[in-house]
Amino acid sequence: MKKLGLCVALLCTLTALTLSHPHIRKTVGASAEGVQLKLSYFTLPYNAEHMAGVKEGFVFHCGRATLEISGAVESAGVTVSTGQYDLRAKAVTADKWTLLLIPKAAEGSAGQQGSSRQISLESRSAKGQLEAHHLNLDLTSGHGDTHGKLILSVAFGPRTVEGILSLPTPDA
């Protein structure tokens, strides 16, 4: 009888694991012009019902994404210093989004992360692309009008939001 109970418990556990969605921790890295970037986040399934109700000002946590930068970069005329940042996407409208970097508080400091210190990245958003069924973040090289820049992209459902980072000019 104990073996039957153990088998049933094991079967139930395996079934629950098979049917549940694993939130995978992903890390993407890039290195360019002496600057290293490390982007980490948890994958999430796209929830069209939830996103349909998004209003102006909504801030999406992007799978609790963090970005570590080893050297200064620039976006929208603002210098983004070496450090760790939380990455968020903010709805300007239902279809237009912008990416935000929020500096993480230094260990042991009295300060805390806060939206007053957030950095709005030069961003562009698109809707109607191939649907990303799971949250997907990436760091890629720019092309066309963003040639020579680094693109931080967030794809979720039919939406893509890209933050544009300018790299330091190489020493001549």
Q: Indicate whether 12 pLDDT > 90.
A: no
Distance (Å, rounded) from C-alpha 172 to C-alpha 52? Answer: 50
Distance (Å, rounded) from C-alpha 116 to C-alpha 60? Answer: 17
Domain edges within the chain: 24-166
The phi, psi pair for 18, rounded to 5°, reads -70, -40
Distance (Å, rounded) from C-alpha 84 to C-alpha 103? Answer: 6
Residue with tokens 């209003």: 55
- Tell me the pLDDT tens digit for each residue of 128-161: 767 788 899 999 999 899 998 999 999 988 889 9
pLDDT at 95: 83
- Tell me the pLDDT tens digit for each residue of 25-38: 999 999 988 899 99
- Tell me the pLDDT tens digit for each residue of 44-99: 888 878 778 888 999 999 999 999 999 999 999 999 999 999 999 999 988 899 99
More confident residue, 19 or 118: 118
- 0.85 exceeded by the pTM? no
